[in-house]
Structure 1
Amino acid sequence: MASDDSLSPWPGGLSDAARSVWAKHDRDMGGWLPLWRHMADSAAVAGRLWDEWLPRQVRRLVADALPDGAADARRLAVWLAATHDVGKATPAFACQVEELAGTMRRAGLDMPLYKQMPDRKYAPHGLAGQVLLQQWLTERHGWSKRETLPFTIVAGGHHGVPPTQADISNLTRYPDLLRTPRCEDVWRGVQDELLDTAAAVCGVAERLGEWRQTRLPQPVQVVLTALVIVADWIASNPDLFPYFPDGCATDPERIDTAWSRLDLPRPWQAVEPEEEPAALFAARFDLPPGAAVRPTQEEAVRLAREMPAPGLMIIEAPMGEGKTEAALAVAEIFAARSGAGGCFIALPTMATGNAMFPRMLDWLGRLPDQRAEPGAHSVFLAHSKAALNEKYTELARQGPTRIADVDRDGAEDEWRYQADERVASAELVAHHWLRGRKKGMLSSFVAGTIDQLLFAGLKSRHLALRHLAVAGKVVVIDEAHAYDTYMNSYLDRVLSWLGAYGVPVAVLSATLPARRRRELVEAYTGSTVTDTDLAQVEKADGYPLLTGAAPQAAPRMSLPAASGRGIDVRVERLDDDLDVLADRLDEELGEGGCVLVVRNTVDRAHQAAQRLRQRFGSDHVTVAHARFVDLDRVENDAALLATFGPPEKVAEAGGKRPGKHIVVASQVVEQSLDVDFDLLVSDLAPVDLLLQRMGRLHRHQRGEEQSERPARLRTARCLVTGVNWTAEVPEPVRGSRLVYRDYPLLRSLAVLEPHFAGTAQTGGTVRLPDAISPLVQAAYGSESVGPATWQEALEKARYDHEVHQSEQRVKAEDFLLDKVKKPGRALTGWVDAGVGDADDTRKGAAQVRDSRESLEVLVVQRRVDGVLTTLPWLSKNRGGLELPTDAVPPAWLARTVAASALRLPYQFGFPKVLDQAIAELEAECVPAWQTKESHWLAGELILILDENCRSRLAGYGLRYTRTDGLEVHRDN
């Protein structure tokens, strides 16, 4: 194959007519770029991307599909990039700029005026290019149309949406859009000339005959489409590739200069660790003094090494067992063997994503790399509030240069810093080009919300980019039990594609139902694992449990020894009455102690906190939930960790565990928050979630046999409330039923019934972690549970639950990506009837979560004198700052307002209320903040609180305080 630096016969061998065809035009500056030049640039960029940026895992996927392996794979990628815009050599495209069209007419390529081509919408240049390539392959190289489709669909889909069969059929009715009839031969000659030249330059002319027999798999079509999109975006950037009509095509400086300025970090090249697990974990993680590797971690490393190929590993182990560290060690082994160039860690929420990001960076800083001269690793925090994360924005400033965003279909560059804020690049960078909602996931190392992974199963524009982003990584899915049927529909579909790509995956859960374990394995392995093997996966008994599965191989199950870190939790019923709660805690805290009270709704948390403050005083009661502005919530989480976290972390933070304190929280404390309490009071929840909450009890050793805890609280206890215990069948409170539905709650009650204090079978205790798997499997199994008198209510609840699950699955199908089709089937109509653009906004998240679109506002205050200010209590000198209303606030001040975002609760998700709220908020907008210069504030809704931090919105009274967050009351 000809090298990228020797691009002859570009343009010397081309006719004047072919040289006159234009591809790019700058209306402001008047510059233009000929098509041949853009074809050459795109091919050269694709070659560099293939050689220096694309992970080996992706390159091998393509190579395995082609007869000459790696050599064919590179040739094909470069050729597809060279030819992707050949559809611009058509009258439908060329007529758009009259000056350039005139030049083409003088060269013999006659065409109508723009206004004389009303049907040109049927020939977008991507689709036109696909048709031209099909005709060239069939007419000049003997391919059938069916054989061409898996190759030519790349050109058709390079703007994010592969054409449908209807699109192709429609274009056949308008042949004059591809070639002007009176000079059809001239047009055809130029099109063939450009394609012949591309084939010769890219070294594919002699390979086309053999490729004709290749049944290109859909996953290969996807990653090649994505690679071409990236190459096109880079080659279309005038900052990197200046526009000019002429120039030396063989000049290597053009591509060398552009590539040097772009400075894309190379992918990670993992070195397979050979150390024993103890040494490996000591080298990679900041372990506490004297800490030893745990059996689950040791067994995960062993299983990863013994699996026949990198694949899916499910790690089921108790809370606090170091599952994340085990998964990262597995990721390192898998990446070295598969050629993955990075890692994506998917978590349930933004808060857990933020917490994971510095942990990922610490691990990344200790990883070896096969590259002789290791460069910077690109990192990304993947959620909609990443720009407000201080750790991430610190890395984002470290790029020494800044290239303009070349995604012309996306939003403007979201990163704007003063020149003096930029510092020299570091080994970890949030790369200047790899930012934004479409490109950020292409970074090598990513931590973010599960939504970002689920988007890979959502029919949406530029879906191929999302697939390329995960196809080259190891994927870690944390808290896998936290997703409902709707989300699991997307997760399973994504897993099926990850399996087809050969992406290694680690799934983590403390409380995974056996049926769900089987579904995960089945989704990943597809039809390559037998029903008998899947049945064995579901029947596997024991805890902790590791399951390893790779396509074409029988799954392997492993039962590591328990770590010995067990506790007995005494479980008791507690009446759902605030006075009863206060009296009980008054009794329990006679000698002091720290209590966690978990409520299933924010309203119930507010009610409990109010009553407990009356009894214990405001200084002894803290509230934690999701209804705080972002800045307050971050500080709340930090304060919880600094006060109730591991003893060594509390000491490092300079904090001190209080003698007596009560934290009233919603589910925000349930996942990925390492806090430790003496006593737990929890609303009834599905048993897996209730067990997660129990994991916050006596989580760390505090003195020998917990001697540093108050004597009365040295035995771990969980008081279960939120239930009418006097009913014939206990009735969960309405709020809990709305959140979780009746059936999971009743099954939870049924399996816990023998464990409540006073029963003979268990002595009133739940042994953790021994009881976790038996309780979860019983609650989510099909066997009858609970007293005979409950069975009628359970059966009705089961029926309602199954109807709801069925409705969720049907609803998910609306925009769910199709399964991987057999090799040779083209991506035609791949995202047909999709959602358009999908991103990590609340609207985008609502597509992959069964939830209403929620309303987010930025919260400010209006003083008595009418001046708008930031919220008065904000730390770091950000509170009470005056906000100009006749001009755009300075960037640092606007960023503070943007970080005061608040998601309004469910009351504002009903359509009529939502519409009314938006209308009222828009009426309060500040016009000066809506300009394009107002990057942080333009388009945002502002909630203005009065001097008492109150407001009214859509018939509701709102009150916001630093202690309690947002409270909502219906206006009378």
Structure 2
Amino acid sequence: MWRHMADSAGVAGRLWDEWVPTQVRRLIVDALPGGAEDARRLAVWLAATHDIGKATPAFACQVEGLAEAMRRCGLDMPLYRQMPDRKLAPHGLAGQLLLQQWLVERHGWPKAATGQFVIIAGGHHGVPPNYPAINELGNHPSLLRTRGSEDIWRGVQDELLDVATAACGVGERLAAWQRVKLPQPVQVLLTALVIVADWIASNPDLFPYFPGERGSDPERLDTAWRELNLPAPWAATEPTQPAEELFAQRFDLPEGARIRPVQREAVRLARELPTPGLLVIEAPMGEGKTEAALAAAEIFAARSGAGGCFVALPTMATGNAMFPRLLDWLERLPDERADTGAHSVALQHSKAALNRDFAELMRAGRRQHDLDRDGTGDAWRHSEDARSASAELVAHHWLRGRKKAMLSSFVVGTIDQLLFAGLKSRHLALRHLAVAGKVVVIDEAHAYDTYMSSYLARVLEWLGAYGVPVVVLSATLPPQRRRALAAAYSGTEEDDAAFAPVEQARDYPLLTTAAPGTEPRLSAPEASGRGTDVAVERLADDLDTLADRLAEDLAEGGCAVVVRNTVNRVHETAAHLRRRFGDERVTVAHARFLDLDRLAKDEALLADFGPPEKVAELGGKRPHTRIVVASQVVEQSLDIDFDLMVSDLAPVDLLLQRMGRLHRHPRGEGQSQRPRPLRTARCLITGVDWETVPPEPVAGSQRIYYRHPLLRSLAVLDPYLAEAEDAPGVPASAEDGRLGNVVGLPGDISPLVRRAYGDEPVGPPQWQEAMATARKEHDDHQANQRSNAGKFLLNPAGRAGRALVGWIDAGMGDADETRGGRAQVRDINDTLEVLVVQRRADGTLATVPWLADNKGGRELPTGAVPPPPLARTVAACGLRLPYQFSFSDVLDRAIEELEAACVEAWQAKESYWLAGELILVLDEDCRASLAGFDLHYTPFNGLEVHHAQ
């Protein structure tokens, strides 16, 4: 134990000196009277003493042979089986009480002053104790010191604490510290630092133990730290060059391209803000918001001391698309500590190991176990660190697994990974340490519902308390959400009058800044001059009508996209259009494909419909005539461009996002390279019964988006959707005075979103009764979402000096992205994911036959674990089953059937890719029956689901 105490203290010192970002250190330093020296001493001392609770009979009785040796030295204790109540004294809680008693009895501390320090020992296993647990252990003192030998136990405990305190140079500081009031964010960060130090010091490969070993060996720590080789944090240097030069150096700008006014203004604000804080960038699609965010992040990091950057995106697909862009940016960054070696990089979502770029960084091969328990069990092989070609970026071996990956310096992940920081869950302190040392970039901020927004607001509140710079990006952010985000980060109530101008602002593009203790500021840069006028029309929700209109508009060729709100409508539409136009002219894109097929679909979309330079780079050629029938996957993440769009009605912000895929890139002077009838961008809106009053969205759309936002969307678009002869001279929402039924991008984005999400009545008088009913249903639904979100929502940071006792009480265990994990921070039902294989005519199992690169049709052994490359291929054939399988009775039945058909050999612990996974076996015709449904999968249509006959 004394050896582990010394190891933990030594590791904590190295972490403080070489790994903890300046941004985190500064927060702790500012809380202590002795500044930096005090902060380091406190961190080291807390690590040294965190396991003092193991010097108790409740812990020591577990191994009888060792316990007997202690008894011979006078440390009496009952046998293990004679201590049924020892569960009341987990060693973290026991250590908390022992430290408290030591401070009170030997150093004269008031008991009330001790909690904020000793809670760190209590919470070092991921869950700070609550008051009932503390009181219960206090009523069982014999678990800490056996009756009859209390003095001997106390002597050992005090000696360990006295020696640790002297070794850490803390003795003379204790008197001053008892007057300190540690802010709760500081308590969280110190707890996380102790956890990391404990996990590293507990690894026997790094810190081996030898019987009879005496004394402290400095080489022991040096050797272990050198073997661990933990990458240092980013040390950003503040760029001083003009914005144009900065962007030219950091990003691949087309030759002769000029940076956009929004990008220039983002750089200016980042440089001029008194302290780095929140920066909200609202600008049209295609304006380079991501590049603006990364440029601002570099400036913020240099000024705040952030040691990395986390980019949060709505989905795994958007995360995968962002990851190579982040790597390109990183390779261009200067670093004032470049001689310190590599930077740690991670892609953080449940399928990160299947991403090509990240797999290359990890040198795809042996999958690491995620063993977070006290840091034991990880393999330490530097050959398994994967470096980029420049040897500057590394997927570090220790920073793997769902609890540690976020501690990497640079992370791209789903928004869930950020929202988990607002979820009461085990080892939450580690997630806070991970984000507290970074700049956080939140993309597509409009894409989150009330449930998710509750978590986002709470996380922003904590990020503001930590002083974490945050950049929020959106093309279509409702004004109320802008105000809520700014108020949350600033730590004030949303109805604070100082934030009214944030909601009232009508400029677009718009940049908003906020920080705790300051009033928000607004800046309205000029638009870039790029714009697209989109003619909008109604289209009856009839497949023959759709086919006739497409035949007419595509008579001279062209590329059209039909966006449906449900996959079932995608399938129905594609089948009908194929009968009319042929299979080769109609393709589909949605989320119900195998992972490898989805990746191939995305690549094909970019090769056919991406920017001209991207199409040329991929060796593709824009099709003469093509119809893509897609779900919402084309709404974001993919830089693709169509001549014509047909879209189901959606909330207006999402509908505008879809319109951003029309004429996204110039194709010849005046779009002259597009077919003549399609040189004007046109969006036909369908998925609505236009004959009712008000028009009625189809049931599938209402299930996804709810009726109220759909009717509000219809109401604000109604002036644009009038028949030509009935069109008003100046549409009510067209504030630039333009005539006709044309939505101007970006000019109409802000007024349309503002009116759709505002409270004023919109739409014709005869709609109002139905809209009022829909509004009531919507308000009830949002209230229910807020209530449900609050069940596991972390509390705001409490007053300084208040201990983190019960910090995550009533929490939900571990936060993760396993099956059902996303439902912890999203208002969705538990979902089921399967790995898909095929059973051939001879009864053998194989990978599905159409996979490229010689991966398809490979026989799979059933009596043994498949070789890692083959197992990885199976793991890359993951498929999330649709909503029909989210209902509890169907879900339970499906799991039961899938588990009954599992391949036993694949569940072996060495089966890193397949153990614990559910396998869906398709027959020769790629069909299967599951839980009363017939499933059919093809690489052309994805998964189709029908009720069994």
Tell me the TM-score normalized by structure 1.
0.95
Q: Within 5 Å, which residues of 2 pair with 1:90-129?
A: 90-129=56-95
1:220 partner amino acid: V
1:484 partner amino acid: D
Answering whether residue 588 of structure 2 is matched by residue 623 of structure 1, we say yes
Distance in 2, Cα, partners of 1:341 & 1:419 = 24
Distance in 1, Cα, partners of 2:311 & 2:552 = 43
How much has 1:317 moved relative to structure 2? Answer: 0.2
Answering whether residue 839 of structure 2 is matched by residue 862 of structure 1, we say yes
Distance in 2, Cα, partners of 1:51 & 1:406 = 26
- Per-residue deviation, residues 45-93 of structure 1 (Å, max 9, x unmatched): 0000000000000000000111111111101000000000000000001
Q: Within 5 Å, which residues of 2 pair with 1:328-727?
A: 328-371=294-337, 373-397=339-363, 407-408=372-373, 426-527=391-492, 531-727=496-692
SS of the residue corresponding to residue 561 of structure 2 reads strand
1:722 partner amino acid: G
1:845 partner amino acid: R
Answering whether residue 801 of structure 2 is matched by residue 835 of structure 1, we say no
Q: Within 5 Å, which residues of 2 pair with 1:775-790?
A: 775-790=752-767
Answering whether residue 862 of structure 2 is matched by residue 885 of structure 1, we say yes
Q: 1:710 to 1:279 in 2, by over 3 A?
A: same
Distance in 2, Cα, partners of 1:695 & 1:673 = 11
Cross-structure match for 1:742:
707
Conserved? CA contact 1:41–1:235, under 8 Å: yes
Distance in 2, Cα, partners of 1:330 & 1:77 = 31
1:66 partner amino acid: L
Distance in 2, Cα, partners of 1:424 & 1:769 = 40
Distance in 1, Cα, partners of 2:169 & 2:418 = 37
Distance in 2, Cα, partners of 1:372 & 1:381 = 22
Q: 1:406 to 1:811 in 2, by over 3 A?
A: closer
Conserved? CA contact 1:233–1:406, under 8 Å: no
Q: 1:143 to 1:552 in 2, by over 3 A?
A: same
SS of the residue corresponding to residue 492 of structure 2 reads helix
Q: 1:869 to 1:946 in 2, by over 3 A?
A: same
Conserved? CA contact 2:388–2:394, under 8 Å: no
How much has 1:425 moved relative to structure 2? Answer: 9.1
1:562 partner amino acid: A
SS of the residue corresponding to residue 827 of structure 2 reads coil
Distance in 2, Cα, partners of 1:139 & 1:420 = 49
Q: 1:411 to 1:189 in 2, by over 3 A?
A: closer
Q: Within 5 Å, which residues of 2 pair with 1:756-771?
A: 756=721, 758=724, 759-760=727-728, 761=730, 762-771=739-748
Cross-structure match for 1:825:
802
SS of the residue corresponding to residue 339 of structure 2 reads coil
Distance in 2, Cα, partners of 1:314 & 1:841 = 31
How much has 1:530 moved relative to structure 2? Answer: 8.8
Q: 1:721 to 1:876 in 2, by over 3 A?
A: same
How much has 1:373 moved relative to structure 2? Answer: 1.1
Cross-structure match for 1:813:
790
> Which deviates further from its counterpart, 947-956 or 239-248?
239-248
Select which of 907, 913, 921 maps to 1:936: 913
Conserved? CA contact 1:162–1:829, under 8 Å: yes
- Per-residue deviation, residues 371-397 of structure 1 (Å, max 9, x unmatched): 151410100000000111121111113
Cross-structure match for 1:282:
248
- Per-residue deviation, residues 357-414 of structure 1 (Å, max 9, x unmatched): 0000000111111115141010000000011112111111399x99987622699769
Answering whether residue 209 of structure 2 is matched by residue 243 of structure 1, we say yes
Cross-structure match for 1:183:
149
How much has 1:532 moved relative to structure 2? Answer: 2.6
Distance in 2, Cα, partners of 1:288 & 1:706 = 19
SS of the residue corresponding to residue 645 of structure 2 reads strand
Cross-structure match for 1:55:
21
How much has 1:249 moved relative to structure 2? Answer: 3.2
Identity %: 72
Cross-structure match for 1:802:
779
Cross-structure match for 1:908:
885
Conserved? CA contact 2:368–2:400, under 8 Å: no
1:702 partner amino acid: R
- Per-residue deviation, residues 108-143 of structure 1 (Å, max 9, x unmatched): 211111111111000000000000000001111111
Cross-structure match for 1:265:
231
- Per-residue deviation, residues 240-279 of structure 1 (Å, max 9, x unmatched): 0001244353321100000000000000000000011100
Q: 1:859 to 1:403 in 2, by over 3 A?
A: closer
1:651 partner amino acid: A
Cross-structure match for 2:43:
77
Distance in 2, Cα, partners of 1:537 & 1:595 = 38
SS of the residue corresponding to residue 928 of structure 2 reads strand
Number of equivalences:
937
Q: 1:707 to 1:421 in 2, by over 3 A?
A: closer
How much has 1:490 moved relative to structure 2? Answer: 0.4
Conserved? CA contact 2:381–2:397, under 8 Å: no
Cross-structure match for 1:752:
717
SS of the residue corresponding to residue 750 of structure 2 reads helix
Q: 1:187 to 1:416 in 2, by over 3 A?
A: closer
SS of the residue corresponding to residue 148 of structure 2 reads helix
Tell me the TM-score normalized by structure 2.
0.97
How much has 1:531 moved relative to structure 2? Answer: 2.1
Q: 1:410 to 1:863 in 2, by over 3 A?
A: farther
The runs of 5 or more residues in structure 2 that have no matched partner are: 731-738
SS of the residue corresponding to residue 527 of structure 1 reads coil
How much has 1:867 moved relative to structure 2? Answer: 1.1
Distance in 2, Cα, partners of 1:945 & 1:68 = 67
Cross-structure match for 1:26:
none
SS of the residue corresponding to residue 691 of structure 1 reads helix
> Which deviates further from its counterpart, 369-378 or 625-634?
369-378
Conserved? CA contact 1:629–1:900, under 8 Å: yes
2:850 partner amino acid: W
Answering whether residue 898 of structure 2 is matched by residue 921 of structure 1, we say yes
Conserved? CA contact 2:203–2:377, under 8 Å: no
Conserved? CA contact 1:236–1:406, under 8 Å: no
Q: 1:666 to 1:415 in 2, by over 3 A?
A: farther
How much has 1:526 moved relative to structure 2? Answer: 0.9
The runs of 5 or more residues in structure 1 that have no matched partner are: 1-34
Cross-structure match for 1:308:
274
Q: 1:414 to 1:968 in 2, by over 3 A?
A: farther
Q: Within 5 Å, which residues of 2 pair with 1:127-142?
A: 127-142=93-108
2:837 partner amino acid: V
SS of the residue corresponding to residue 535 of structure 2 reads strand
2:884 partner amino acid: Q
How much has 1:527 moved relative to structure 2? Answer: 3.0
Conserved? CA contact 1:398–1:422, under 8 Å: no
2:442 partner amino acid: I
Cross-structure match for 2:939:
962
How much has 1:417 moved relative to structure 2? Answer: 12
- Per-residue deviation, residues 485-532 of structure 1 (Å, max 9, x unmatched): 000000000000000000000000000011110000110001399923
Conserved? CA contact 2:820–2:832, under 8 Å: no
Distance in 2, Cα, partners of 1:280 & 1:268 = 18
Q: Within 5 Å, which residues of 2 pair with 1:842-861?
A: 842-861=819-838
